[in-house]
Structures are given as C-alpha cells and as structure tokens.
Amino acid sequence: MDRSTREKTYWRCINYHSHNCHSRPHTCIITNNVIKSPTEHTGKFSGTTLTLRKFDKQIISPAPLNTQETPYIIIMYCYKGLSDPALARLPTCENIKRRIRKLCQNKDIAQ
C-alpha cells in the first residue's frame, strides 16, 4: 500500500524502487473493489527472475529437506528445466549445498 484516503487506497508496484515501476491500482476502502485498474508495468522484468524464485521455493520446500538424499542430488533435481541464463545467475553449487545443510539442521533443531 502506498497511501490511503477516506475513500480510496492507492497501491504501488512492489518493484517501485528497484525497477522504477509506476503501476498503481486504486481500491475502494469500503467495498475493497478495484476503482482504477493498474496501468502497464514500466519496470524491466525478466522471465529469469521468476525462474529463480521457483528454484528457491523448490530448495526450501519441506519435501527435499525430509529426504535422506545428499544436497548435491537435491540440487541436481532442482536444476532440471532451468534455462542457461537462469543457471548463470544462480549462486555456486557449494553455496546452495551449504544452504540446504543449514535448513536441514534448523529443521532438526525445531523438532
């Protein structure tokens, strides 16, 4: 939410600062209906960013953390279907393995 008046709530894009996107929908405070639809996003987005978010969700989801597989096998499973630009933007394999190990340790401590 960007700001609010007695009648409307003004929303702004979550990438307002990082991508200078000026897309802003307006909603009614009482009914929560959209008064003004958002304009076209002016920020520059790439499909690679969405792919990397999906990769992160696969890594931190509970299913890989509940298996007895090694972090390397989990990473290879998550690498399937990634494009070359997405692979280039990923952290190194060692960093991802360390992240998986820490997530597994934190899961074991919580139980």
49-79 per-position pLDDT tens digit? 778 888 888 888 876 667 788 888 889 988 9
Domain regions of the chain by residue span:
3-36, 47-110
pTM of the model: 0.56
Q: What is the pLDDT of residue 111?
A: 47
Among the residues of 1-111, which ranges form H helices? 16-19, 47-60, 62-65, 71-79, 84-89, 93-110
